[in-house]
Amino acid sequence: MANELEIINNPTSTPELVSTGYQAQNVRSLASSNGVDLTFVEAYDATTVRLRQSGAVDVSGTLYAVGAQVDFTVSSAGRYFIYLADGGDASHKTPTLGTDAGTFDAELNARYLSTGERVLNWLIVKETVGSTKLTVLKMQDPGKLAAHNEPLLLQRTVISSAGTTTWTAPRSQVYTFELQACGGDGGDGTATSPFTTPGGGGGGGGYLKHSEFVATGVVLSLTRSITSAENCQISGAGFTTITAQNGTVGQTGGNPVNAGGVGGSYSGGHGIVGETGDPGYQSLPTASGGGDSTLGFGSFNRDGEGYGAGGAGDYPSHFSGAPGLFLIWG
């Protein structure tokens, strides 16, 4: 690495030849305006962003001014940017709201879309979880958007499907992950003359809450199992592997008593162990209750409720445990 900076020559006090004498001051003038953005953008109300009459902004060496204010409606949560689309003729540009931050062009000292449109140096953040908030920030260093001091964009991602999927961090920030493992099924009952014995209640799934910084573009693997005693897990390169274990199935009815399913545990963060299901007793007049979870409730004579609760044991057949859930905040 060497010679990354090149001198910008000062103009002479008396220009020399007309054909060349003004070039130094022209170069200096262009350098001072390269990538400039003197526009003004504000959050006008909870859903409106206003680009005020202002200027100037550099587009590949040509300066434009905002001759009239423009209002944009921002209704959904996310990060937004204003780019300058082509206008009706070469002398005009049309400000347009989008979600693409573009790529920083060091030579032009600004962000541009892959299709060539200039992106203004403004970051718009809309939050809709917990409260509705619209924030507009001026990027002091457009080349380091990922490190920009933006507010935490609070969004909630819900993943309830079984199997393995992936999640990609949309921006660099601290995210909070909640894993609620599924509850175990209740056990089936048996008939032992002269009594019947319900199966034990299923155990509640383990719960885990974990916060960690994840850089934009990092891909995490999320596995949600629906099999008793298996694990729900999030893992990825450079990420702390976190695991919540499903509750186990209650034991099949026996004589004179059988055990309820064991509650699921957790590892890799702060969590809570699911409750163990009730045992099934011979001649018990009702089914044995499933264990509670952090996000669900087990009880008698029914499936687990909410997320992660154990199902009730019964005679002759059992009730099902409640499914698990992944929540990602941020």
Q: How open is the CA angle 123-124-125, to the nearest 5 degrees?
A: 120
- Report the pLDDT value the prediction gives residue 37, as an integer from 0 to 100: 92
| Alpha-carbon gap, residue 146 to 213, rounded angstroms | 13
- Report the pLDDT value the prediction gives residue 288, as an integer from 0 to 100: 85
Residue 327 exposed, middle or buried by CB count within 10 Å (0-12, 13-18, 19+): middle
Would you say residue 133 has pLDDT above 70?
Answer: yes
Percentage with pLDDT > 70 across the chain:
84
Sign of the CA dihedral 26, 32, 36, 40?
negative
Q: Are 207 and 266 in contact (CB under 8 A)?
A: yes
Q: What's the mean pLDDT in 166-190?
A: 88
Would you say residue 317 has pLDDT above 90?
Answer: no
DSSP 29: H
Residues 14-27, buried b or exposed e (16+ Cβ, 10 A)?
eeeeeeeeeebeee
Q: Are 75 and 47 in contact (CB under 8 A)?
A: yes
The C-alpha torsion from 244 through 269 and 201 to 327, rounded to 10°, is: -60
If DSSP codes are grouped into helix, strand and coil, which group holds residue 24?
A: helix
The larger pLDDT score, comparing residue 28 to residue 90, is at 90
The C-alpha torsion from 171 through 173 and 174 to 178, rounded to 10°, is: -10
> By mean pLDDT, which of 150-159, 201-210, 309-318 is the weakest?
150-159
**Distance from the first to the final alpha carbon of the chain:** 38
Mean pLDDT estimate for the chain: 83
The larger pLDDT score, comparing residue 153 to residue 52, is at 52
Q: Are 228 and 242 in contact (CB under 8 A)?
A: no
Q: Indicate the pTM of the whole model.
A: 0.60
- Report the pLDDT value the prediction gives residue 87, as an integer from 0 to 100: 87
- Report the pLDDT value the prediction gives residue 264, as an integer from 0 to 100: 78
| Alpha-carbon gap, residue 60 to 223, rounded angstroms | 47
Would you say residue 86 has pLDDT above 80?
Answer: yes
Query: Which residues fall within 8 angstroms of residue 146, CB to CB, at 6 or more apart?
Result: 171, 172, 215, 216
Between the alpha carbon of residue 4 and those of residues 10, 25, 27, 31, the distances in Å are 19, 22, 18, 16
